[in-house]
A and B are shown apart, each in its own frame.
Chain A
Amino acid sequence: MKRNRREFLQHGGVLLLLTGASSLAWEHVAAGEPEAAPGYDETAHWWAMAIDIERCIGCGNCVRACKAENDVPLEPFYFRTWVERYAVPAGDPEHPAAESPNGGFDGFPPAAPGEGIKRFYVPKLCNHCAHSPCVQVCPVGATFETRDGLVLVDKNYCLGCRYCVQACPYGCRFIDPRTRTVDKCTLCAHRLAKGLTTACCEACPTGARRLGDLKDRKDPIHRFLAQRPVHVLKPHLATGAKVYYAGLDGSVR
């Protein structure tokens, strides 16, 4: 078969155009749809968490469950949730001692004896702030607030600039060394969409941490908020934090 130059260019041009178009189409296919969540209406929920300090025994179940459920690196520098143990000397609330060995993943060693020291555990996680400083600073909008009140990260879009890590007042974000993008608690969004509670709440043996839906009038979190003295972390920063603590000592930061 003999081809002249005009034909060659025509065919070549068409081929080039088609490969371009098909690669674009393929990119769209490969990107996929957001994970299907049949029956889940984003606008019908506004998620929060209720934490009862007096119930937390520092077992670390939540930390282990979170790392297993969400494939969080096991090294001691990466936590979506962790537990701190506070020791506040009597009459000196301004000088508490805090510790969180391996984020509480292995539980806590027996505390050193001491007279009149107030001890308690504080589970921490992303506060899913309604006015998130981390969302505000992201240069490309890779971290965003969802309509059901979560703060999430698009890992395929994150530049890894770490500005959000600096902007979070609670130390809830880290860079996943495997993807070199930022990672944080999603409040187990994948489970919420299926009508389940979070991994940490499910694993908690004492019910110290409970997921709450502020848009659901029947949710027990309303009773918790109405009847218990509650507090959020660093309220002076006005981040709109949605993790509510009952029995939180003033020395906790």
Chain B
Amino acid sequence: MEELLRGVEGFMYPNEVELQWSILIVIYPFVTGLVAGAFILASLERVFNVEAVKPTYRLALLTALAFLLVAPLPLQLHLGHPERSFEMFLTPHTSSAMAMFGFVYLWYLLAVLVLEIWLDYRQDIVRWAEEARGIRGLLYRALTLGSRNVSAEALRLDDRAGRIITIVGIPSAFLLHGYVGFIFGSVKANPWWSTPLMPVVFLFSAMVSGIAVVLLLYVILSRIRRRPVDMACADTVARYLFYAFLVDFSLEMLDLVHRIYEADESFRSLDFMVHTRLYVPHIVVQILLGTLLPIGLLALTQVLRLEPGWRLRLYVSAACLTLVGIFAMRWNVVIGGQLFSKSFLGYTTYKLAFAGREGLLPALFTLVLPLGILALLLRLLPPWEEKAPAA
């Protein structure tokens, strides 16, 4: 702990030396953002009937579910008393942005995502329930929830219901992540966070990261399945990524320009921070590597007539860089917002532990766990028909 004092430059209020929100709270908006983004991508196909992105539809839904299941974990790990977290449901404090998370989360998980996935898979589940044996068969039979009616009329009803849920789901996904932005944006004590743009920036960065992760997973899974990547699909998804990124970047630049031009009492302190201890994560990783470079790569694919192989390579590189950039953005918001003193007279340091409850190890675990869950979901509810031989 004494080491912390050596990391202080200038003056911090004594209680400020130790950072309150660790890497786990960086992961929480990152993961939630992937959920919202993946769902919005899936919704495009459903609501606007974009046939081209169909191969990623189910994958996007399952990705959203896998990450959503893990989203509360970093929060739980971080709480001083996780055993009391249920109080948030029993005695929520209605003026608290955080208290509403539980309800938004449950609404989104149960009323939107799980229901939509079930309706979309119902026909397949009924078929698998009849084909599969053993535990697998039992599971599918349970998943039918007792209804094996797959008549044309029933399916039409499913489709209608699914469509309505998606239409409700889009604002819900917006709410889920816009709300996460509001948790930070509404803290008037912290000028690095306090801006009405925060929920909007969070939302668009969520879409960007969600689209990128689905694109990446689609390409990787195609490799694993030894199937060719549907280029029409990859092109369309990459185009969405490009557009969403442009909006996201414009919003972030608007925020930046506004801060620089207004230059209020916090500006000098924050400006100094961005040029010193936040230089690498903010300027280098987030803006140059994680935003401008992927936007540039995606722009190339839009302007030049590249071969599919090259286009795909650029898409994959751009998607990887995007994920790094959005993670850096979450890092810079959460950690960056705690590195400066609210007296604007000094700076502290964040020491990331390796093991321990809030260290690097549990952080990596919470990032890998959704991939494990996704692998399981993909086996249980295969999004693609595997019967057609590889071309």
Q: Are B96 and A139 in contact (CB under 8 A)?
A: yes
- In the assembled complex, the CB of A96 is this many whole angstroms from the nearest CB of chain B, namely 7
> Contact check: which of A82, A136, A171, A179 meets B95 at CB < 8 Å?
A136
Closest 7 CB pairs of A and B: A160-B80, A171-B13, A180-B80, A169-B189, A139-B99, A141-B93, A98-B11
A-B contact pairs, 23 of them (CB 8 A): A98-B11, A98-B343, A98-B345, A99-B11, A133-B189, A137-B98, A138-B96, A139-B92, A139-B96, A140-B96, A159-B88, A161-B78, A163-B183, A165-B20, A168-B189, A169-B189, A169-B342, A171-B343, A172-B15, A181-B80, A237-B188, A237-B189, A253-B344
- Digitize A29-65: 1 where CB-to-B-CB distance is under 8 Å, 0 elsewhere: 0000000000000000000000000000000000000
Knowing A140-B91, A140-B93, A163-B98, the reply to whether A77 touches B1 (Cβ < 8 A) is: yes
Interface presence of B306 (CB below 8 A): no
Q: Which residue of B lies closest to A79 (CB)?
A: B14
Knowing A140-B93, A159-B88, A170-B342, the reply to whether A77 touches B11 (Cβ < 8 A) is: no
- In the assembled complex, the CB of B180 is this many whole angstroms from the nearest CB of chain A, namely 13
Interface presence of B379 (CB below 8 A): no
Interface presence of A242 (CB below 8 A): no
Knowing A166-B21, A166-B187, the reply to whether A181 touches B14 (Cβ < 8 A) is: no
Interface presence of A186 (CB below 8 A): no
Counting contact residues on chain A (CB < 8 A from B), the size range is 35 or more
Interface presence of A97 (CB below 8 A): yes
Q: Are B15 and A77 in contact (CB under 8 A)?
A: yes
- In the assembled complex, the CB of A99 is this many whole angstroms from the nearest CB of chain B, namely 6
- In the assembled complex, the CB of B349 is this many whole angstroms from the nearest CB of chain A, namely 14
Interface presence of B84 (CB below 8 A): yes
Interface presence of A92 (CB below 8 A): no
- State the CA gap A122–B78 with chains docked (Å): 34
Interface presence of B5 (CB below 8 A): yes
- State the CA gap A167–B16 with chains docked (Å): 12
Counting contact residues on chain B (CB < 8 A from A), the size range is 35 or more
Interface presence of A152 (CB below 8 A): no
Query: A residues engaging B (CB < 8 A)?
Result: 75-79, 82, 84, 96-100, 102-103, 124, 133, 136-141, 157-163, 165-175, 179-181, 237, 253
Chain B residues with Cβ below 8 Å from A102 are 14
Q: Are A103 and B92 in contact (CB under 8 A)?
A: no
Q: Are A159 and B79 in contact (CB under 8 A)?
A: yes
Q: Are B15 and A97 in contact (CB under 8 A)?
A: no
- State the CA gap A96–B269 with chains docked (Å): 13
Chain B residues with Cβ below 8 Å from A172 are 15
Chain A residues with Cβ below 8 Å from B82 are 159
Chain A residues with Cβ below 8 Å from B343 are 98, 171, 253
Interface presence of B85 (CB below 8 A): yes
Q: Are A159 and B80 in contact (CB under 8 A)?
A: yes
- State the CA gap A79–B16 with chains docked (Å): 10
Please report which residues of chain B, range 359-384, place their CB below 8 angstroms from some CB of chain A when the two chains form the complex: none
Interface presence of B17 (CB below 8 A): yes
Q: Are B18 and A141 in contact (CB under 8 A)?
A: no
